[in-house]
Amino acid sequence: MSTANKNLDIKVEYVTRVEGHGNIVVNVKDGKIEKCEFHVVESPRLFEGMLRGRSVFEAQHITSRICGICSCGHSLASIQAAEDALGVVPTAQTIKLRKLLLDYEFLDSHLLHIYLLAAPDILGVPSFVPLIASHNAVVRRALRMKKAVNDVCDILVGRHVHPISAIVGGFTKLPGPKDLDAQIKILESMADDLGETLALAKTLKFPDFHRETEYVGLVSDDGEYPLLMGDIGSTDGKRFKKADYLKATNEFIDPRSSAKFTKLSRDSFFVGALARFNLNANKLHPKAKAVADALGFKPVCHNPFLNTVAQVIEVVHCYYHAMDILLDLKKSGLDYKQAVTVGVNEKGAVPVRAGRGVGSVEVPRGLLHHCYETDAAGMIKKADCIIPTNQNINNIEYDFAKLLPEIINLPKETITLRLEMLVRAYDPCISCSTHYLDVKFVD
């Protein structure tokens, strides 16, 4: 066989068009794969350590800064964990507004990934910059949609990057009737661009690759596509309460590398849009279901490259779900007495107790867990944050192990690009990876 004496050395330092820093290392000697790994080399920021001694009322503000792209997601997981620890039960209105915020987060992050980070691979260019000349209308549409989502977020929570008004206990500022109308109007103005996005999605071609794995995400007993509330579930039939999130992550250190990995029923599992689709496709908004049908996309899909397609479907879901919430709020009106002023709770507006709380929230890249232990004064004694990308690394490496032999006869550049594309398909958010261990290179 021609591969018998194939030698290959690939080292991609700082994979581009992903959030944060990661490397790909491949060694093939005499046709034998000695190494095919994805290394996280983000410099540690030690968030979990820094949270110790801070008030649990500050945790949202601090953990939002773990990631600029998922700052609303981190905020919501943090608030859920803090409220669980304090025994605060959010009102129905607050939950509705948080779901709306999460819809905006998904729209923003997925659009960024689909257009600016993933599309250049599919269109065969190194970044969106050459697309300004070759696909000007596409770039303009992407920036226009991004701006529109940013604008509705500004209205709802002050800004998208590090939301201001979403805190423990509720919202410091509630959208007035004009604010609701403004958000509806902006979303309506996106309708044509959304249609064009779907037309674009239909033309995209992805590598044909399949590997069975376990898909993990929120599951629920009601009919709503679960992003904020529910239990932790998997396509292998596992189900846990959020308080037992550690049973669903099982972090371990593998001799292959010193990065912390996670697993559940098998060697590895997948979190993210494809996992959510595979678990809950029947709960998508009818408009999103219609798009999935039109794209011929059915659960259970085992091609990780199609995570980007699942994101397109979720864009449609979140768009219409957000619109439904806004119209519902407009009809019922808001109770403005529910606006909260908390600060660090120095006036004791929220009763404080010692406790442990868990927040598990679907964020664009998958299931995110925050867990805080607090003392009687509401100060954090211990914090744990398990990030979606952290959970996916193990799965990426198992994908590498299956993919590489399938493409080993292709030119080195093609192999490198394909491996990078696979990493980008997961939409990894490495700055988020709060607790990775370093990896030693074998030269």
Partner 1 sequence: MKTENEPVKTAAKPKVAFFDFACCEGCQLQVANIGETLLDILGAIDVVEFREVMSEKYDKDYDVVIIEGSITDHHAEERIKKIRSRAKVLIAYGSCATIGGVNGMKNSFDLDEIRQSVYGKDYKLFDSTPTRPIHQVVKVDYTINGCPIYPPELIEVLKCALRGVPYTVPDNPVCAECKLNENVCMYERGISCLGPWTKAGCNSWCVNNGNICYGCRGEVKNPARNANDVISKYNLKPELIKNKFDMYNKCKEGDINVNRK
What is the smallest separation between the CB atom of 263 and partner 1, expressed in angstroms? 19
What is the smallest separation between the CB atom of 7 and partner 1, expressed in angstroms? 25
Q: Distance (Å, rounded) from C-alpha 160 to C-alpha 137?
A: 25
Nearer to partner 1, 54 or 402 (CB): 54
What is the smallest separation between the CB atom of 131 and partner 1, expressed in angstroms? 11
Nearer to partner 1, 214 or 384 (CB): 384
What is the smallest separation between the CB atom of 253 and partner 1, expressed in angstroms? 8
Secondary structure letter of residue 307 according to DSSP: H
Angle, alpha carbons 225-190-172 (nearest 5°): 65
Nearer to partner 1, 6 or 65 (CB): 65
* Three-state DSSP class for residue 248: helix
Nearer to partner 1, 132 or 327 (CB): 132
Nearest to 93 by CA among 174, 149, 155: 174
What is the smallest separation between the CB atom of 6 and partner 1, expressed in angstroms? 26
What is the smallest separation between the CB atom of 186 and partner 1, expressed in angstroms? 12
Buried b (16+ CB within 10 A) or exposed e, 77-111: bbbbbbbbbbebebeebbebbbbbbbbbbbbbbbb
* CA dist list (Å): 26 to 36, 45, 207, 237, 262: 4, 28, 20, 34, 22
Q: Are strands 170-171 and 166-167 parallel, antiparallel or unpaired?
A: antiparallel
Q: What backbone phi and psi angles, to 5 degrees, belong to 62? A: -75, -50
Nearer to partner 1, 279 or 363 (CB): 363
Nearer to partner 1, 213 or 434 (CB): 434
Contacts with partner 1 by CB under 8 A lie at 14, 16-20, 43-46, 48-50, 52-54, 58, 61-62, 65-69, 71, 112, 116-117, 120, 126-129, 132, 139-140, 143-144, 146-147, 150, 157-162, 164-165, 167, 171-173, 253, 258, 339, 341-344, 346-347, 431, 434-435, 437-438, 440
